[in-house]
């Protein structure tokens, strides 16, 4: 499928200033001294609307292999909530800087480049993947960069994320922006899509193959919505798990072969002590959940892969319903970090538990290509203006957000814009 051809940004006039209002565009390539940002500081860590406060800060300076991006829109992810809370760890103990700008997804314009950057130029429209590394160890040169001792997540383990007018990234983080999408649609998908891609295709020999059955927890969320689409695109059978019945049609519409409502079962939380009455009650309910899977896959057909991210609440069931020789792959612990399971069903059935963390550039680019080729839907559900970035995180924190992915506007003044020129004009007419 032909991709959208890039076109250069047309010339325009704008004043040179030290600070611009949100939505106000500097001259192309002109870097002001300061910028507006939603900043977190150690002394106010807590829930999003306490932790995130609007500040004026200095625009980051670039190293030779770094790029400055004018942020048009950004994505909302749970790591912004973790950064605000300072849990499970405080980011100030990681990057040692006085303030933290969260945000690990963005769409925008290349605004300045370091003197060793060759692949990108000022004016390029990009999306950003969130993996950083120093690039000079064995894993970064012939291995897997996600295993590098210098691997870190931009906007979480670095202080300069996307909830600001400008963000500083490594040049290898940039990928072409799908021009058929709006700025906000482009901004909401990279973290969750690339994470889902590595979980399903990045762990040999358990890569997703046609005909495989995959259980997807949180099927209506950001990760789950991409997992369903990737499984469907690869010829697999996705079984989505939801918590609210009104999400069933959404998940089926993404291509799931079946949907299970977990609230119909009572086998969640940490595993009861084996061989107790509580364990027997849990096991009976877990088997009922397994029977619900068989109703979709066929009797006796357990799932080849379990796509895990809730963690504590679901992990005992995940390790039980996975088939012999199958894999439980986990990338988070949104319900808690103390995962328990009955190890007898692990060693005797030779199952694999695999941790998975974001993706390296090749995996992120492969996932992004599917978006560029219009094979995937970004599943954007809600868009918030700049002033409501903390409120958007509160909505996610309280699990009140709609199915799919959330985005926020930064320099894009209104929703629905697909070009820089449109954003420039809209900003002038406000």
Residue-range domain boundaries for the chain: 34-188+378-429, 196-355
Phi-psi region of 23 (alpha: psi -120 to 50; beta: other; left: phi over 0): left
Is 54 exposed, middle or buried (CB count within 10 Å of its CB: 0-12, 13-18, 19+)?
A: middle
Q: Examine the pLDDT at 4 and tell me if it is beyond 90.
A: no
Query: Cα(first)–Cα(last) distance of the chain, in Å?
Result: 37
CB 60 within 8 A of CB 316: no
d(CA 389, CA 282): 40
Is 234 exposed, middle or buried (CB count within 10 Å of its CB: 0-12, 13-18, 19+)?
A: middle
For the four alpha carbons of 391, 248, 340 and 306, in that order, the dihedral sign comes to negative
At residue 154, the pLDDT reads 98
Q: Examine the pLDDT at 153 and tell me if it is beyond 60.
A: yes
Q: Examine the pLDDT at 1 and tell me if it is beyond 60.
A: no
User: In the structure, what pLDDT confidence band is assigned to residue 89 with cuts at 50, 70 and 90?
Assistant: confident
Instruction: Read off the tokens for 125.
Output: 């429209």
d(CA 355, CA 272): 23
CB 65 within 8 A of CB 114: yes
Q: DSSP letter at 353?
A: E
At residue 5, the pLDDT reads 66
pLDDT tens sequence across 333-366: 989 999 999 999 999 999 999 999 999 999 999 9
Percent of the chain with pLDDT over 70: 99
At residue 400, the pLDDT reads 87
Pick from 128, 114, 113, 111: which is nearest to 25 by CA?
Answer: 111
d(CA 342, CA 328): 14
pLDDT tens sequence across 169-202: 999 999 999 999 999 999 999 999 999 999 999 9
Q: Which residues pair with 148 in a beta bridge?
A: none
DSSP string, 21-36: -TTPPPSTT---SEEE
Per-residue pLDDT averaged across 31-59, rounded?
Answer: 97
Pick from 131, 47, 102: which is nearest to 408 by CA?
Answer: 102
CATH, range 196-355: 3.40.50.720
pLDDT tens sequence across 251-301: 999 999 999 999 999 999 999 999 999 999 999 999 999 999 999 999 999
Alpha-carbon distances of 153 from 380, 385, 386, rounded to whole Å: 22, 25, 23
pLDDT tens sequence across 195-225: 999 999 999 999 999 999 999 999 999 999 9
CB 164 within 8 A of CB 410: yes
User: In the structure, what pLDDT confidence band is assigned to residue 430 with cuts at 50, 70 and 90?
Assistant: confident
Pick from 161, 108, 163, 110: which is nearest to 132 by CA?
Answer: 161
CATH, range 34-188+378-429: 3.90.180.10
CB 250 within 8 A of CB 401: no
Percent of the chain with pLDDT over 90: 92
CB 102 within 8 A of CB 37: no
Q: Which residue has the tokens 């107790």?
A: 276
Q: Examine the pLDDT at 123 and tell me if it is beyond 60.
A: yes
With b for 16 or more beta-carbon neighbours within 10 A and e for fewer, the 111-146 pattern comes to bbbbeebeebebebbbbbbbbbbeeeeebbeeeebb
Q: Examine the pLDDT at 66 and tell me if it is beyond 80.
A: yes
Backbone angles phi, psi at 214, to 5 degrees: -130, 125
Instruction: Read off the tokens for 196.
Output: 């889902």
Per-residue pLDDT averaged across 405-412, rounded?
Answer: 97
User: In the structure, what pLDDT confidence band is assigned to residue 27 with cuts at 50, 70 and 90?
Assistant: very high
Backbone angles phi, psi at 319, to 5 degrees: -70, -20
User: In the structure, what pLDDT confidence band is assigned to residue 246 with cuts at 50, 70 and 90?
Assistant: very high
Contacts for 343 with CB less than 8 Å, ≥ 6 apart:
none
Backbone angles phi, psi at 113, to 5 degrees: -135, 150
At residue 3, the pLDDT reads 63
Instruction: Read off the tokens for 202.
Output: 């990045």
CB 22 within 8 A of CB 6: no
Q: Examine the pLDDT at 139 and tell me if it is beyond 60.
A: yes
Per-residue pLDDT averaged across 231-259, rounded?
Answer: 96
Q: Locate the DSSP E strands across 66-158.
A: 66-76, 106-113, 125-128, 131-132, 152-153
């Amino acid at each position: 499928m032909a991709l959208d051809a890039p076109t250069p940004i047309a010339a325009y006039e704008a004043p040179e200033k030290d600070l611009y209002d949100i939505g106000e565009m500097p001259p192309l390539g002109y870097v002001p001294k300061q910028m507006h940002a939603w900043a977190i500081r150690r002394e106010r860590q807590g829930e999003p609307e306490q932790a995130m406060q609007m500040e004026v800060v200095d625009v980051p300076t670039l190293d030779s292999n770094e790029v400055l991006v004018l942020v048009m829109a950004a994505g909302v992810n749970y790591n912004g909530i973790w950064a605000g809370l300072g849990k499970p760890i405080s980011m100030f103990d990681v990057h040692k800087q006085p303030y933290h700008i969260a945000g690990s997804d963005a769409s925008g314009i290349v605004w300045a480049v370091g003197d060793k950057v060759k692949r990108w130029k000022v004016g390029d429209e990009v999306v950003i993947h969130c993996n950083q590394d120093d690039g000079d160890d064995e894993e970064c040169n012939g291995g897997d960069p996600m295993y590098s001792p210098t691997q870190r997540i931009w906007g979480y383990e670095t202080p300069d994320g996307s909830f600001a007018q400008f963000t500083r990234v490594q040049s290898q983080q940039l990928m072409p922006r799908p021009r058929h999408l709006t700025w906000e649609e482009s901004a909401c998908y990279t973290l969750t899509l690339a994470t889902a891609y590595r979980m399903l295709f990045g762990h040999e020999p358990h890569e997703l193959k046609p005909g495989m059955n995959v259980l997807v927890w949180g099927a209506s969320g950001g990760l789950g919505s991409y997992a369903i689409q990737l499984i469907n695109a690869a010829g697999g059978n996705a079984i989505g798990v939801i918590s609210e019945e009104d999400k069933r049609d959404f998940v089926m519409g993404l291509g799931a072969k079946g949907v299970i409502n977990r609230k119909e079962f009572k086998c969640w939380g940490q595993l009861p002590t084996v061989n107790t009455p509580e364990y027997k009650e849990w096991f009976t309910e877990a088997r009922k959940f397994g029977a619900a899977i068989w109703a979709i896959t066929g009797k006796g057909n357990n799932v080849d892969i379990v796509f895990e991210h809730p963690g504590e609440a679901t992990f005992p069931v995940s390790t039980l319903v996975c088939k012999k020789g199958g894999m439980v792959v986990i990338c988070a612990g949104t319900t808690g970090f103390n995962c328990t399971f009955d190890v007898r069903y692990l060693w005797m059935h030779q199952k694999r538990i695999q941790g998975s963390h974001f993706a390296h550039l090749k995996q992120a680019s492969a996932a992004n290509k599917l978006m560029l080729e219009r094979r995937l839907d970004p599943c954007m559900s809600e868009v918030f203006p700049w002033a409501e970035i903390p409120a958007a995180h509160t909505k996610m924190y309280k699990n009140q957000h709609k199915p799919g992915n959330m985005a926020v506007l930064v320099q894009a003044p209104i929703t629905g814009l697909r070009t820089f020129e449109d954003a420039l004009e809209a900003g002038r007419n406000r």
